[in-house]
Structures are given as C-alpha cells and as structure tokens.
A = this chain, B = another copy of it.
Amino acid sequence: MAPASVLTPRSEDFPRWYQDVVAKAELADNGPVRGTMVIRPYGYAIWERIQAEIDARIKATGARNAYFPLFIPESYLRREAEHVEGFSPELAVVTYGGGKELEEPVVVRPTSETVINAFFAKWVQSHRDLPLLINQWSNVVRWELRPRILLRTTEFLWQEGHTAHATEEEARRYALRILMDVYREVMVDILAVPVLTGRKTERERFAGATTTWTCEAMMGDAKALQMGTSHELGQNFARAFGIQFQTETGGTAYPWQTSWGSSTRLLGGLIMAHGDDAGLRVPPRVAPVQVAVVLVRDEEGAGQAAAQLVRELAAAGLRVELDDRVDTSYGRRATAWDLKGVPVRVDVGPRELAAGQATLARRVPGTKETVPLRAVSEVVPAALEEAQRDLLAQAESFQRERTAEVSSVPEAAEAGQAGFARLPWASLGPEGEAELATAGVTVRCLVGPDGGLPLPGQDAGTVAVVGRAY
C-alpha cells in the first residue's frame, strides 16, 4: 500500500485527490494556454487502448472513418440556428492567417457537424447512398471558463459519428446500436465502469436532437459523469443543409440522421470511477502495463530471474515492464506502481528467490501473496482477470449502495446530493426537474420501468435517475 501522504485522501477533498492522481500518476498536465492540456505518455497509452476498442466496434457497425477540416467558415455555424445558440460563447475564432487579417473569420471546430453535413449534401443523392455512416477521430475546441483537466477542457480529443438513413426506424436502431454495442460495451466490458443507459429529458437533450440517448456512470464521489451520448436528429440537419435523396419510388426525401460522440473525458471517468487513496487502478484490458516485475535488489541472481520472468510473461501475451531501478528504494518504486494503478506487481528479491519464490502484489484488492517462481506466468493472467471482474463488481456495488428509491421532489433533491435517486418521471415532470436544478441536481436519464431503455417520446411509466453531475 502507498503511504497515505502521497495523495490527498478522497474523503477529504475529492477534486484535489483527482488533480493529485492526474499529476502524480503522470497522466496529464495543464497546457500553457488556460484550459488546454498535455496528455502524457502514460495517460495517452490508456487513451490509445480505449480508442482502439471503440474504433473496432464502430467499424463493426459498418461506419467508416474520415477526416474533416479543423477550420469552419463562420457562416456555416449560422445554418442550424438552434445549434449555434448553444456554442457561440464557446468558439475560438481565427482572424489572422498568412500574415494578414482574414476577410471572413474562421472558427476552430467545436464539432464537425456543420461541415460534415455540408458534405453529406454532396454525397447523398440516391437511396443507394444510404445508409451513410461516417466517424471522425479529432481534436475539438470549446472555450472553457472553468476547465477541469480531462473532464472539461478547452481542447479535447474525441470521436464524432454522423449518419444518414432512409427511415426514422433505421436511424433509431443505429443510434441505439452505437449506444449499446459500442459505448456501453466498451464502458462495462473494457473500462469496468457500470453505466446506466437511458434517454435524456427534453431539458437535458442536445439542442439539435429529437432524442438523446446516454451512458451515465457514478464516480467515486457519487456524482454522475456523462460518458457518451447517441442522438437521433430527425430531419433537422437534413433540412438545414439541404440533404435530400431520391427514393426507390422516384420521389425526393430528407434522410433521418444520428450523431454520437465520446471523448478523452472517458480517461477522467476511469480515474474517478476506480481510483483509491493509493492512486489510480487501471482495468487490465486497457492497462498499458499489466504487470510490473520489480527487482528488489540485484543480488544472488535476482536480476537474471526478473529478466527471465519478464520474458515469460511477455511470451504469454501480457504487457509487462521490468523495473530494475535498484538505485531507487523498493518502497518508493512500489508506491509509484500503485499510484499508476498497474494491476499486478511481481517483486523479485534475493530472499524469496532462494526459496524459488516471488511476491505477487495485486492492486485490486491490495493484497500480497507468495508464488512459486515457475507458477508466476500461470497465476498472473488469472489475477488480471480477477482484477478486471473485481473493479466492475466494486463499482457496481458502490453505485447500488448510493442509489435511493424516492417518491417526491424534495426527497430526490436531498438523495441526489449523496448519489443517485430514482423516482417515477410522473412524480417529477418538467416542473420538478426545474426545481431540482436549483439544488444542483439534474435528471441524468430516464429508464424504462423494467430497467431497460424507454421508448422514445413515451414518458409514461419511465423512471428518472437524478443526481449531481460533472
């Protein structure tokens, strides 16, 4: 276990603990322009694994990646009026280029929605061009007055998907496929973060959408984090950008669209969902280092034994790193590996080695055991699987414990301070929702009476899950 002094304890000051972990686990740092960030190699390596998992699933739905420009003419943002209202104060505007003032200022994309839809208008001509399924990985900029590293930054990395379909039903099916088979699956199966999947209320949904579907997770301070959203856009953007297609029967129609996104905010969610007072705890499936083999002292063949273990573990397909920095004390190094949340550590020292053994330290649950040297490469894969399972189970039980069933708005406002509160939407309604907002509590999503996804547009029988949110 790491000395408690390394990090501010979570119970004392959660935001401070978060900043400490981000800095000391070398995940990210603030950039020189306020609100921007540097994602350091360790944080970026986790992001690359998250990206790969999301990307593979997006491609499995049939979508293809493309790249659209960073700069958007200011005039484009006026085409979808409702949309521009939402972004205007968030825009970064380029007024000089090539050494002189620009005739028309260009905006640094807050999303690529407008430019992608302008190209959809060119690419979609016939029903044969549908569905058109496009995804983009890129940076976007939304000027943040109260930035919080990895969670709300002026620049962040994300993927945004945009699709066009011949029918509303097909668009809905696709939006839900992204929600469940891409976002939910990566969050639960890979990041070990349990998420509620549901529909946003009218108040909370994306301005340009007819329906917004969301994945909501509970962080270690019992606040909610929106981890990813999938929108049904109806024909709003199609009308605004003149996207039309010739139908099979020879008529003309506007396609039905979706858009969906997830971002580097997922890294922040990972930290806050799994971290403890000793640091980060990285789920093995996205851990850049799954096993650290720590050479305690380089005596009596311990160095060779450690190197041999590293070879065996790498041959077993694990991501393993040798820590042979014996000029730094063992205690400091063990603390550093805990801080970085590496799931399993194997300590190799001359004493255990003499008995043909090594010490296996599990970050989850934080226990140590002695293992015969020749059994290490069998025990470690099982330990990693357990760690993956335990992280999810712990987060699930935390969420369960911090979720209250209530029946009135005042109860929801109170319970919502300490976690999630569930109450029938019929008992809340838009007025109750506005009242909750004055207490800093929002409806995170509406879920169906059976816990499944509610029907779009049908509020009857749905349950509102409310809480404070990042």
Chain B nearest CB from A155 CB (Å) reads 5
What is the bound-complex CA distance between A98 and B92, given in angstroms? 7
Closest-by-CB residue of B relative to A39 is B67
Asked if A64 lies at the interface with its beta carbon under 8 angstroms from chain B, I say yes
Contacts of A76 in B (CB 8 A): 32
Cβ-neighbour of A71 out of B36, B65, B134 (below 8 A): B36
Please state if A32 and B73 are interface contacts (CB–CB under 8 Å). yes
Please state if A96 and B98 are interface contacts (CB–CB under 8 Å). no
Asked if A180 lies at the interface with its beta carbon under 8 angstroms from chain B, I say no
Chain B nearest CB from A2 CB (Å) reads 21
The listed residue with most B CB atoms (<10 A of its CB), out of A88, A154, A325, is: A154
Q: Mark A277-300, 1 if CB is under 8 A from B, else 0.
A: 000000000000000000000000
Asked if A322 lies at the interface with its beta carbon under 8 angstroms from chain B, I say no
The listed residue with most B CB atoms (<10 A of its CB), out of A65, A97, A108, is: A97
Chain B nearest CB from A151 CB (Å) reads 16
Chain B nearest CB from A426 CB (Å) reads 40
What is the bound-complex CA distance between A161 and B98, given in angstroms? 26
What is the bound-complex CA distance between A99 and B93, given in angstroms? 9
Query: Which bracket fits the contact residues of A?
Result: 35 or more
Asked if A382 lies at the interface with its beta carbon under 8 angstroms from chain B, I say no
Closest-by-CB residue of B relative to A100 is B89
Asked if A91 lies at the interface with its beta carbon under 8 angstroms from chain B, I say yes
Please state if B38 and A97 are interface contacts (CB–CB under 8 Å). no
What is the bound-complex CA distance between A95 and B73, given in angstroms? 15
Asked if A383 lies at the interface with its beta carbon under 8 angstroms from chain B, I say no
Cβ-neighbour of A41 out of B48, B66, B138 (below 8 A): B66
With contacts A32-B69, A64-B45, A69-B32 known, is A96 near B97, CB below 8 A? Answer: no
Cβ-neighbour of A155 out of B29, B70, B128 (below 8 A): B70
Given contacts A90-B98, A97-B143, 19 further A-B contacts (CB under 8 A): A32-B72, A32-B76, A33-B71, A33-B72, A38-B66, A38-B67, A38-B115, A39-B67, A67-B157, A69-B155, A70-B70, A71-B92, A71-B155, A88-B99, A91-B97, A91-B99, A95-B95, A98-B143, A139-B139
Q: 18 A-B pairs, CB-CB below 8 angstroms?
A: A31-B69, A32-B118, A33-B106, A38-B115, A38-B119, A40-B66, A41-B66, A44-B65, A67-B157, A69-B155, A91-B97, A92-B96, A93-B95, A93-B96, A94-B94, A96-B105, A97-B154, A138-B139
Minimum-distance CB pairs A-B, first 8: A36-B69, A31-B69, A41-B64, A98-B143, A93-B96, A39-B67, A89-B99, A33-B71
